[in-house]
Structure 1
Amino acid sequence: MKKILPVLALFLATFSFAQTPCVNGMAGQYPCSGLDLLSRISLGTFGSDRGNDSWGWTDPLDGKEYALMGLGNGTAFVDITDPVNPVYLGKLPTHTDPSSWRDIKVYNDHAFIVSEAGGHGMQVFDLTRLRSVSNAPETFTEDAHYNGFGNAHNIVINEETGYAYAVGTVSFNGGPHFVNIQDPINPVGEGGFSNDYYCHDAQVVIYDGPDSDYTGREIFFGSNEDRISIVDVTDKNNPIGISNGFYGSVDYTHQGWLTEDKRYFIIGDELDEANSGFNTRTIIFDVTDLDNPVVHFEYEATVAAIDHNGYVKGNEFYLASYRAGLRVFDISDVEGENMVETKFFDTYPSSNSARFDGAWSVYPFFASGNIVISDINSGLFIVRDPLLGVNENTISNFAITPNPATDVVEVFSKVDPISTIEIFNVLGQKVMALNFGDSLSEKINISNLQSGMYVMKINSTTTKGLLID
């Protein structure tokens, strides 16, 4: 049985379902750097012909992680706690018609879903129902519905206040439509802001940035087609426009996200690559003075793909870049006008051209380090930094061979005696722990371990990646 596993692994990798490490720039058929493919679920499995947005939920009771993916005909819910073996739990069908656009956010263990489909409104789904799915995949029903608007392009939620902001509706000139969701299954409309035209996407925060004039206020950062729009939405009865930010060669201001210190707002223009000939262009606004946002610098990538949804986590910017897949950037020196691509996973390997295929969105906020990519054409991808986020010590006195291994792996030391060896699976669980004397080489029987990626820790100091066929 062991002898056929490499062939089986190659077969599965070809169809993008299997755990596949990024080796020599490829994870199976997918170009990559610094990100391993843990698994993929196809659109066919979801019973849909197209994908769109994605978000995530972590169950506060047990820490289980769930991916939420928008589809043409509904929303899929997937348990990714074991990212190598995700479980498709079921789908909430669209409230009205199918649509290419669907957006999902989470508050208080509930998912809130909007769509461009006519009359769709906002669906509310109690995510705690996912704990008791007994016959997956199920067809779910919504737990509540808000009909204060029909179609909406997007939904934004401020989890600190319990307000949802539907944008791109026919109400309020396409500006944010305020919905109180503090009681999730009884959403209540509370007005909106119509003084800055159509809003495509936004982020809303309780402001704790450098501009002390607005400390503690609820501030809306909108991407409004040809500008960024900053609005004080603290008083829902009297929202106040603060300022607009403009930049050159504008085609369509699509979406943006704040750095964690609130000093910069990183945005993408969705049409400038196709219409104006840029490579993937990212515009970084300095928003240290909310009354006067200014362009800090622009970053242009080496590929021509169109940028779509991007999110900041720590000092990294995660960008779903359509045909170029997921691109990850180090933004630790954004103040010095530096932005460096460090990792990528290309879900659309045939081309990086400026067309509307490939990665629609990314969700990088799981504590485990699992990263969800939703792809228009190919479904749901789960990727992760290799070695469970622990950098392999390549300048080391230890070596392991063979790698990949099947039944036995041998560990060599040039200088230091081997005292302990621990092996961890992709979930971070210790699956083997061994103690030794003063030998410079040890053979380890791994025949009882399943095929996949592991981390070997030697003498509690050195980590090595191990692939078992």
Structure 2
Amino acid sequence: MKVFKSIAVFLSATLTLASSYMLMGGTLDTFLDDLLADGAISESQYSVITGVYLKHADLHFNQHQVVDNIFIPLRDELRSFIDGEVRVQRLSKNTATYLLNLFNFKAAPEDGPEGGPGLLSRSPSYSSNGIVTKGGHINVKDKQSGAGDFINNGIWGYETDGREYALQCSSDGFRIIDVTNTRPFIVQFIRMGGGRIWRDVETHFDPVKKTTYAYVGAQGQGGKLWVVNLSELSGPTAHGPNSKPIPLKHIKLLGYENFSHTLSVSYGLLFLNSGGSGGCQIFDLTKNPWVPRWVSSTGGNQKDCHDSFSRMVDGRLLLFSADGYTSRVRIYDITDVRSRVSPLLRGETERSDGTYAHSVALTDDSKYMYTFDEFDNYDIAIYDISVISKPTLIKTFQWKGEESEGSSIIHNGFVRGNFLFTAYYQAGFRVFDISNPIEPVEVGNYETHRDPEGSGVLKKDVNEGYQGAWNVFIGLSSGKILVSDMDSGTFVLTLPSLEAPSGLKGSLSPCGQSSRYTKTIPTLKWDKPSEAATNYVISRSNATQEGPYFIIAEEISSAEGTYRDDLAELVPNTYYYTVTAKNSEAEFDASKVVKITKITSECKITRRKKRKRKRRRRRQRLPPSSRTGTPELP
């Protein structure tokens, strides 16, 4: 019992320090209670681990950091106890790993993914910020009273009729920021309770009502889920600063307290990711976006679902769940989830001891998965997921400055085309070229934490701290990249290779000297977006502006900037086109949509042409003598 007593005494003596011990998705005692309720640990094991401290205090998180030194004096004895329980088979290896992760026992690299993390070299042409350019910046934290307790967190993007907005979450609520021009400004602030550390946002477009809704969820301090109807946000004409165009009737509190450590929206489904045993709660938005309908969940013992990502793969809708303290990613089939069919586990990664499965991103072809470890063990791992049932680890890697500048923790990542965009906490925003998905090369960055002004002088150190770049959004048609930094605010960044073709115009080609049966031909013209563009892809929708779009031509020369859609099957109709620029490395964002209404399938023959043809035919019918004016006698 010597070990038991020392654990209890130490925990009792460290109540004050332990009250700041941060856990993703809940408090320490909440996680332990769930393990006990699910039978993963016994009452005696629970008593040993918790000791007497639960009689006096609840270990609530109140800052976004993992406090390494709180349990250091206890670690040898606690680990000895856990290892002993595993040896006598009173504790499973999975539960033991889960417990060690809760107390932030970091495994040595050799205990993590095979081979340990690799360091990346930068692109040979990479200097300064590489391919990244700063386009705008706003920091609402500067305007807060008591700003020391304030952070920016989740971010998303929204656009309407050419006007672009950043949807920025923070400790006190939700801000809509106009980022159309180089000087961003706040259009509206919506105060929301709770969520001092964790608040997240994504959007859903209702094709029936032609309306976009923003879902804003939070965890901690009673944070709840909200829905905001964005239909009042303007397009061509800008709202003024703090003009508050969204009325109260378009802002609704839905509840679901502390359900949303993070959230995601796709395929008409809303996923509230608890980061704890609540797992991922799934809601259907297609019936009524204003009142989401719960359909299923992935919750249960050691199914944390810190973050989730869904993608249609081979005709099946798959949910990729980063399961936090379980140190693994699980892949579920949720194709039939609206019929309340429970998510079917299709595959999972091997457990990686001493890591925190924070989030995932997939390559556009869904063949490779990047996972992000928030315990700073391996940072980013690459998996081959061509066989969903058996994800295969290929390698792990870290940012280029890991050894020379300090160890920075990865937070979130986003794949678009041949680039992986990351929010890398103290290392700021980092871009990796993944044209070869298993050999990433760092090609750009912006120091949102160490040099937010872009002066070229690094003012802070990198020391494994939980400060800096929180999240990133890619998807605005202009190619703007939105980055949320906890302290420095909202950044609008650009990459030359992400500029969309501009000046796209559509017309019907003239008949010219064509015959009666020549078709009118829809013709596109556009401006070259940048010197990096080498060719273009043309896509067409025969249905609506929303699509679906199908590629009708590829490898169109960048020197031309024009395309005639003269395919034989074209008939009178309204057609919608987009032009997507490409370079040698990545596919650009597509242009705005252009509409061409094709009224007829034939050129009209003018009257003048008809008269000429009629006269010619009459003269050809006269007898030869009529040409001289002398009639031929019988």
TM-score, normalised with respect to structure 1: 0.68
Alignment equivalent of 2:290, drawn from 185, 193, 198: 185
Q: Report the Cα offset of residue 149 of structure 1.
A: 4.8
Is 1:372 paired with 2:478?
no
Question: Which residue number in structure 2 is paired with residue 115 of structure 1?
Answer: 218
Deviations 1:385-438 (A, max 9, x none): 259859xxxxxxxxxxxxxxxxxxxxxxxxxxxxxxx9999xxxxxxxxxxxxx
- Quick check: 2:137–2:183 contact (8 Å CA) kept in 1? no
Question: Which residue number in structure 2 is paired with residue 382 of structure 1?
Answer: 492
Task: Name the CA shift for 1:267/1:169 in 2 (closer, same or farther; >3 Å).
Answer: closer
Alignment equivalent of 2:443, drawn from 338, 342, 348: 342
Provide the rounded CA distance (Å) in 1 between the counterparts of 2:364 and 2:496: 25
Is 1:168 paired with 2:274?
yes
AA in 2 matched with 1:99 = R
Q: Report the Cα offset of residue 124 of structure 1.
A: 0.5
* 3-state SS, counterpart of residue 40 of structure 1: strand
Task: Name the CA shift for 1:382/1:252 in 2 (closer, same or farther; >3 Å).
Answer: same
AA in 1 matched with 2:199 = R
Question: Which residue number in structure 1 is paired with residue 306 of structure 2?
Answer: 200
Q: Report the Cα offset of residue 186 of structure 1.
A: 2.0
Gaps in structure 2 of 5+ consecutive residues: 1-124, 206-211, 451-459, 501-526, 531-560, 562-634
Alignment equivalent of 1:130, drawn from 226, 229, 233: 233
- Quick check: 1:247–1:295 contact (8 Å CA) kept in 2? no
Question: Which residue number in structure 1 is paired with residue 628 of structure 2?
Answer: none
AA in 1 matched with 2:408 = A
Alignment equivalent of 2:473, drawn from 363, 379, 386: 363
TM-score, normalised with respect to structure 2: 0.51
Higher strand share: 1
AA in 1 matched with 2:373 = D
Q: Report the Cα offset of residue 343 of structure 1.
A: 0.7
AA in 1 matched with 2:251 = D
Q: Report the Cα offset of residue 193 of structure 1.
A: 2.0
AA in 2 matched with 1:155 = L
Question: Which residue number in structure 1 is paired with residue 35 of structure 2?
Answer: none
Kindly report which structure 2 residues correspond to 1:84-163, keeping only aligned pairs within 5 A, or say none.
Answer: 84-94=182-192, 96-108=193-205, 109-131=212-234, 136-138=241-243, 141=248, 143-158=251-266, 160=267, 162-163=268-269
Q: Report the Cα offset of residue 227 of structure 1.
A: 0.3
Q: Report the Cα offset of residue 32 of structure 1.
A: 2.5
CA radius of gyration, larger in:
2
Is 1:330 paired with 2:436?
no
Provide the rounded CA distance (Å) in 2 between the counterparts of 1:252 and 1:388: 32
Provide the rounded CA distance (Å) in 2 between the counterparts of 1:133 and 1:187: 31
Provide the rounded CA distance (Å) in 2 between the counterparts of 1:156 and 1:423: 35
Is 1:234 paired with 2:335?
yes
Kindly report which structure 2 residues correspond to 1:453-464, keeping only aligned pairs within 5 A, or say none.
Answer: none
Deviations 1:110-164 (A, max 9, x none): 1101111344332101122222885531566462332245442011111x3x110
Provide the rounded CA distance (Å) in 2 between the counterparts of 1:134 and 1:321: 33
* 3-state SS, counterpart of residue 265 of structure 1: strand
Task: Name the CA shift for 1:362/1:134 in 2 (closer, same or farther; >3 Å).
Answer: closer
Is 1:259 paired with 2:349?
no
Deviations 1:367-395 (A, max 9, x none): 212111100011111111259859xxxxx
Alignment equivalent of 2:141, drawn from 44, 69, 89: 44
Task: Name the CA shift for 1:298/1:93 in 2 (closer, same or farther; >3 Å).
Answer: same
Deviations 1:291-322 (A, max 9, x none): 11111211232322110110000010000001
Q: Report the Cα offset of residue 353 of structure 1.
A: 2.6
Is 1:288 paired with 2:386?
yes
Moved more, 112-121 or 325-334: 112-121
Deviations 1:212-246 (A, max 9, x none): xxx22211001001100101112222221112102
- Quick check: 2:173–2:190 contact (8 Å CA) kept in 1? yes
AA in 1 matched with 2:392 = V
AA in 2 matched with 1:186 = V
Provide the rounded CA distance (Å) in 2 between the counterparts of 1:348 and 1:369: 22
- Quick check: 1:250–1:272 contact (8 Å CA) kept in 2? no
Task: Name the CA shift for 1:93/1:249 in 2 (closer, same or farther; >3 Å).
Answer: same
Provide the rounded CA distance (Å) in 2 between the counterparts of 1:248 and 1:122: 32
* 3-state SS, counterpart of residue 487 of structure 2: coil
Is 1:65 paired with 2:175?
no
Provide the rounded CA distance (Å) in 1 between the counterparts of 2:221 and 2:296: 21
Is 1:272 paired with 2:272?
no
Task: Name the CA shift for 1:387/1:287 in 2 (closer, same or farther; >3 Å).
Answer: closer
Deviations 1:306-347 (A, max 9, x none): 10110000010000001111100011112xx31100111111
Deviations 1:431-450 (A, max 9, x none): xxxxxxxxxxxxxxxxxxxx
Deviations 1:30-67 (A, max 9, x none): x62222222211123664631111111122xx132111
Is 1:32 paired with 2:117?
no
Task: Name the CA shift for 1:381/1:190 in 2 (closer, same or farther; >3 Å).
Answer: same
Moved more, 139-148 or 69-78: 139-148
- Quick check: 1:25–1:32 contact (8 Å CA) kept in 2? yes
Q: Report the Cα offset of residue 259 of structure 1.
A: 0.6
Provide the rounded CA distance (Å) in 2 between the counterparts of 1:178 and 1:248: 27
- Quick check: 1:258–1:264 contact (8 Å CA) kept in 2? yes
Task: Name the CA shift for 1:262/1:54 in 2 (closer, same or farther; >3 Å).
Answer: same
AA in 1 matched with 2:361 = W
Report the identity percentage.
25
Is 1:305 paired with 2:408?
yes
Deviations 1:151-179 (A, max 9, x none): 42011111x3x110101167xx2211011
Task: Name the CA shift for 1:163/1:103 in 2 (closer, same or farther; >3 Å).
Answer: same
- Quick check: 1:46–1:91 contact (8 Å CA) kept in 2? no
Provide the rounded CA distance (Å) in 1 between the counterparts of 2:466 and 2:479: 27
Task: Name the CA shift for 1:267/1:373 in 2 (closer, same or farther; >3 Å).
Answer: same
- Tell me the C-alpha RMSD between the 2 structures: 2.9
Provide the rounded CA distance (Å) in 2 between the counterparts of 1:40 and 1:133: 18
- Quick check: 1:252–1:271 contact (8 Å CA) kept in 2? yes
Provide the rounded CA distance (Å) in 1 between the counterparts of 2:221 and 2:497: 46
Higher helix share: 2
Provide the rounded CA distance (Å) in 2 between the counterparts of 1:184 and 1:176: 19
Provide the rounded CA distance (Å) in 2 between the counterparts of 1:232 and 1:284: 21
Q: Report the Cα offset of residue 272 of structure 1.
A: 2.5
Question: Which residue number in structure 2 is paired with residue 318 of structure 1?
Answer: 421
Provide the rounded CA distance (Å) in 2 between the counterparts of 1:133 and 1:180: 33
Provide the rounded CA distance (Å) in 2 between the counterparts of 1:270 and 1:257: 15
* 3-state SS, counterpart of residue 215 of structure 2: strand
* 3-state SS, counterpart of residue 128 of structure 1: coil
- Quick check: 2:200–2:262 contact (8 Å CA) kept in 1? yes
AA in 1 matched with 2:196 = S
Provide the rounded CA distance (Å) in 2 between the counterparts of 1:187 and 1:267: 29
Provide the rounded CA distance (Å) in 1 between the counterparts of 2:264 and 2:176: 19
Is 1:218 paired with 2:324?
no
Task: Name the CA shift for 1:118/1:299 in 2 (closer, same or farther; >3 Å).
Answer: same
Provide the rounded CA distance (Å) in 2 between the counterparts of 1:388 and 1:301: 22
AA in 2 matched with 1:145 = L
Provide the rounded CA distance (Å) in 2 between the counterparts of 1:193 and 1:130: 35
Task: Name the CA shift for 1:189/1:146 in 2 (closer, same or farther; >3 Å).
Answer: farther
* 3-state SS, counterpart of residue 289 of structure 1: coil
Q: Report the Cα offset of residue 103 of structure 1.
A: 0.5
